[in-house]
Amino acid sequence: MSYDLIKVQQKGRVGIITLNRPKQLNALSPELMQQLGAALQAYDADEGVGAIVITGNEKAFAAGADIAAMKDYSYMAAFLADYITRDWEHIRRIRKPVIAAVAGYALGGGNELAMMCDIVIAAENARFGQPEVNLGVMPGAGGTQRLPRAVGKAKAMDVCLTARMMDAQEAERAGLVSRIVPLEKLMDEALAVAEKIAGCSLPVVMMIKESINRAYESTLAEGVLFERRLFHSQFALADQKEGMAAFLEKRKPTFKHR
């Protein structure tokens, strides 16, 4: 697939996807989401890639789904076509870690996209919100579900019902964001995180992601059992032998991702 609404670039073992509709503040049109899905799937299938970064520009990560593209939708058309859902689901199936590097606005579907990533790193000017209520609709890509899990019910209600934006500091305090960095350092930091992850054993990294996500879908006892079974399976990895031998031999491990 050729891309005109995103840019893709690979640095070492890191795949970088830059949303690229700057005039529309990276509004997430169906075409953009299709291209994003295709790029994510390509990196996920590429053995040479160990982590993926999604970013926007200094003003906007993404200001939401494209309002112009959806304003004339009818209920029947949205229901029958399962309104753009397919292209919003791709990211949930990506098995490698995905890092959102957020500067500027992450609103509506933009915030929902960030929340579908595994780690959110924010620039100091980042602003997060679910302003759909101002448009006469509610969040439609997980905002009412992932936001309360990330920041708790009180803040999720506040943000979704009043359309108020959280700044980077508040989002970090609330647990939506893992780190805040100066705007000019955003990509350096996101790449450093991605490179660190991509240098580790790929199957181990994928299992950590799967296991943490399991925490949201199961009871504690089931989640802990799931984690234990994955942990046991890691004694079958060459990377486990290498990682532990390297520690004891006081050298850096060379992982084969096997």
Choose between 65 and 94: whose C-beta lies nearer to ligand DAK: 65
Choose between 51 and 103: whose C-beta lies nearer to ligand DAK: 103
Minimum distance, C-beta of residue 137 to ligand DAK, in the bound complex (Å): 7
CB 57 within 8 A of CB 104: yes
Amino acid at 142: G
Minimum distance, C-beta of residue 86 to ligand DAK, in the bound complex (Å): 9
Q: Which of 114, 105, 123 is nearest to 150 (CA)?
A: 114
**Residue 109 annotated among the catalytic residues of the structure:** yes
Which residue in the list 132, 171, 189, 190 is annotated as catalytic?
Answer: 132
3-class SS of residue 255: coil
Which residue in the list 65, 114, 156, 171 is annotated as catalytic?
Answer: 65
**Residue 132 annotated among the catalytic residues of the structure:** yes
Choose between 124 and 195: whose C-beta lies nearer to ligand DAK: 124
Minimum distance, C-beta of residue 106 to ligand DAK, in the bound complex (Å): 10
- Which residues bind to ligand DAK, rule: CB under 6 A? 24-25, 27, 63-68, 83-85, 88, 105, 107-109, 131-132, 135, 140-141
Pairing mode, if any, of strands 127-129 and 166-167? antiparallel
Which residue in the list 56, 109, 110, 140 is annotated as catalytic?
Answer: 109
113/21 Cα distance (integer angstroms): 15
For the chain, strand residue ranges (E) read 6-11, 14-19, 51-55, 60-62, 98-102, 105-107, 119-123, 127-129, 166-167, 179-181
Minimum distance, C-beta of residue 148 to ligand DAK, in the bound complex (Å): 17
Choose between 163 and 206: whose C-beta lies nearer to ligand DAK: 163
173/237 Cα distance (integer angstroms): 37
User: CA separation (Å) from 147 to 116, 143, 249?
Assistant: 10, 5, 45
Task: Give the active site residues.
Answer: 65, 109, 112, 132
